Amino acid sequence: MYNLTMKIILLLITLLILSLNAKEFTNALEFETSPYLLSHKNDPVNWMPWGDKAFAKAKRENKAIFLSLGYSTCHWCHVMQRESFKNKKLAKLFNKYFISIKVDREEMPHLDSLYQEVYLKMKHHAGGWPLSMFMTPDKKVFYGGTYIPLHKQTYSEGLDTLVEKLGKKYKRYDAKFQKELAEIQKTINAQVVYEEVQIGDISVNTLSDSLKENFDEIYSGFGSGRKFPEAAKLSLMMDIAQLNNDEELYDYSYEMLDVMALRGIYDQVEGGFFRYTVDAAWEIPHFEKMLYDQAELIPLYVRAYVRTGKQLYKDVVVETIAMLDARYVKDDLYYSASDADTNHEEGAYFVFSKKELSGSGVKYIENFEGKMHLNIYDDARPKNFKSMRKKLLKVREKKEYPFIDKKINTAWNALMIEALYSASLIDKKYERKAEKTLKALTDLMFKNYDLYHQAVIGVAPKQKGLLEDYSFFIGALIAGYEVNYDKKKLDFAEYLLNHANSKFYKKGIWYLSDDKLHIKAGLIDKYYTSPLSKMLQNIINLAALKASFRYEKLANATLELQEEELKHKLYDVPGLAKAYLMKNLKVTTLKSNKTNLLNHKKEIKRTTYPYILTKEEKYNDYLACTIRLCYSKDKSLKKVLKAIDLKRRW
């Protein structure tokens, strides 16, 4: 009895100690809903969320701001947390000198966009995550970094000395600091001045030349270092290949699709694409899987399959959707991402040891930290691929799957809905899936005639929608209309466009959000298509479908302001380039009755002109029209498609 009583007492003491420790290291993030912010709620750093309270506190206490932006499936964010933000000694320095603000860049992509641009101007090269910015309470940045190690390394000073140094520097606020601060602000606020270029008019040919000059002919894709899928560039390349009947660009497009499907950026065992590879040859990925990558790549593989009939492309679509169904779907909605790490070990779930591969039929090639990440180095999958995959799946069943970020992001779900509508060309069941997700997303995120940005299932959304939410939602509705000609989708898309116009378009400029941050929309497509470029494409498409000169005027006004940037960046702003071609070459609307359009979906998609929309009308003939004129009418679809090709060719 005595022993039992002592055990109970010891247990209660242990629980009390744990409770006290938990309270000791709980900060203001405990009231947030973001999985990323919640993962930092027990750091000894006194984190606060972004907001007026944090900046008011900094002014009141005469402290600088430490702003840290990351996301829940970011490997180096985890490393920085373990090394530095969990370090009690370092946390004391942060808490002494700074008001520390933690931001989920997926919750506030517009804020991330702003500070990535600041970092680029300060450092003259792109940033990334985590992003670490030190600034005054009135938001003047005086030091910036990405991942910063705890102790000094060859590439960076360590936080163990940097935090106190920067904190004291701000406290002094002497003439030297003020001069440095002024110089940094001058650099950040400087307007971009483009050198004159001699390309003349932007055309299919100048864009084609730009793509060819920057394509990696050795490994395929773009860039000479680490490789991202860059779906927007691949989409533009496929457009121009169609427009010019350019065999070289067709080859580049299919080479890139092939290499991504067969090498390490694709999960050969369970399907789906990783975020990027750390090498130029697409072999070793950073093992995160992002919903937006799957959503933007699926339509490109569908497009290639419809044109070529290549089984690999169809397999990639089916496998990727199946992977998402298995891992990412809850109540017909899609989670945001999965982590690269399992138990702090990068790629642990996805790679195989020599022992694990024994008897699988896979030749062991050590290529990742003493283990193997599976690549197919031939031009096609091996004959034993299916049996090999079954054996490897059994190996993985014994492992713990990485953390999944269960946020429901409106923009990314909308991208996935558009992807499912696209995949319905392969199998009608994907249309049904798209319809279910569209309804679930609308029910969750469209409240009181307003769109919301993100939420966790079971928690009411609070954050109002951003430009990207409206852009991708409208794109999904247009795609859905073209699949089943439900006019309600087109009307909803038009409502969202007009609502977005009133919220984000001010005095000729599009903004990423409707708040006091006033962050202008940019044109970078590297991770997923720029919300502004997607919105432009939507406006042009709705102008064609609705025969609206008002929408055409809005598209023209927006494009005119972006033309100078397009002339200088060409292939590097592919979403904008696509919108420009749609506007200049004219979107053609192919009209006929619903039965005709549904019966000839694939035939219409195989035409050589990429900017065709379909619209239900009550007549039996086929009619091809731009916004201002109709130029071909016939009972024969073949004749009308030929007329479209001849009329629209550059």
Three-class SS of 550-619: HHHHHHHHHHHHHHHHHHHHHHHCHHHHHHHHHHHHCCEEEEECHHHHHHCHHHHHCCCCCCEEEEECCC
Q: Is a pLDDT exceeding 80 seen at residue 366?
A: yes
For tokens 């055309």, the residue is 203
Residues 338 and 399 in one domain: yes
Residues 261 and 114 in one domain: no
- Residues sharing a CB contact under 8 Å with residue 281, sequence separation 6 or more, in sequence order: 219, 227, 263
Distance CA 505, CA 507 (A): 7
Residues 406 and 276 in one domain: yes
Residues 175 and 283 in one domain: no
Residues 177 and 260 in one domain: no
Residues 238 and 157 in one domain: no
Whether residue 8 lies inside any domain: the answer is: yes
Query: Which of 426, 446, 461 is the last residue in one of the domains?
Result: 426
Whether residue 532 lies inside any domain: the answer is: no
Whether residue 579 lies inside any domain: the answer is: no
The pTM of this model reads 0.93
Residues 289 and 403 in one domain: yes
Distance, first Cα to last Cα, the chain:
92
Among 83-92, 188-197, 558-567, 596-605, where is mean pLDDT lowest?
A: 188-197
Residues 260 and 403 in one domain: yes
Burial class (CB in 10 A: 0-12, 13-18, 19+), 355: exposed
Residues 177 and 239 in one domain: no
pLDDT of residue 458: 87
Q: What tens digit of pLDDT does each residue of 174-221 get? A: 999 999 999 999 999 887 665 555 556 789 999 999 999 999 999 999
Quick one: pLDDT band at residue 646, thresholds 50, 70, 90? confident
The share of the chain scoring above pLDDT 90, in percent, equals: 88
Query: Which of 363, 397, 426 is the last residue in one of the domains?
Result: 426
pLDDT of residue 3: 60
Q: What tens digit of pLDDT does each residue of 74-113 get? A: 999 999 999 999 999 999 999 999 999 999 999 999 999 9
The share of the chain scoring above pLDDT 70, in percent, equals: 94
Q: Are 552 and 543 in contact (CB under 8 A)?
A: yes
Q: Is a pLDDT exceeding 90 seen at residue 648?
A: no
Quick one: pLDDT band at residue 530, thresholds 50, 70, 90? very high
pLDDT of residue 527: 85
Q: What tens digit of pLDDT does each residue of 229-240 get? A: 999 999 999 999
Q: What tens digit of pLDDT does each residue of 569-587 get? A: 999 999 999 999 999 999 9
Distance CA 417, CA 190 (A): 40
Mean pLDDT of the chain: 93
Quick one: pLDDT band at residue 446, thresholds 50, 70, 90? very high
Whether residue 439 lies inside any domain: the answer is: no
The CATH number linked to 174 is: 3.40.30.10
Whether residue 258 lies inside any domain: the answer is: yes
Q: Is a pLDDT exceeding 90 seen at residue 334?
A: yes
Whether residue 170 lies inside any domain: the answer is: yes
Residues 27 and 151 in one domain: yes
**In the chain, how many domains are there?**
3
518: left (phi over 0), alpha (psi -120 to 50) or beta: left
Query: Which of 405, 426, 447 is the last residue in one of the domains?
Result: 426
Residues 185 and 233 in one domain: no
Whether residue 83 lies inside any domain: the answer is: yes
Q: What is the mean pLDDT of residues 158-177?
A: 96
Residues 357 and 232 in one domain: yes
Whether residue 200 lies inside any domain: the answer is: no
Q: Are 356 and 395 in contact (CB under 8 A)?
A: yes
Domain that holds residue 159: 2-189
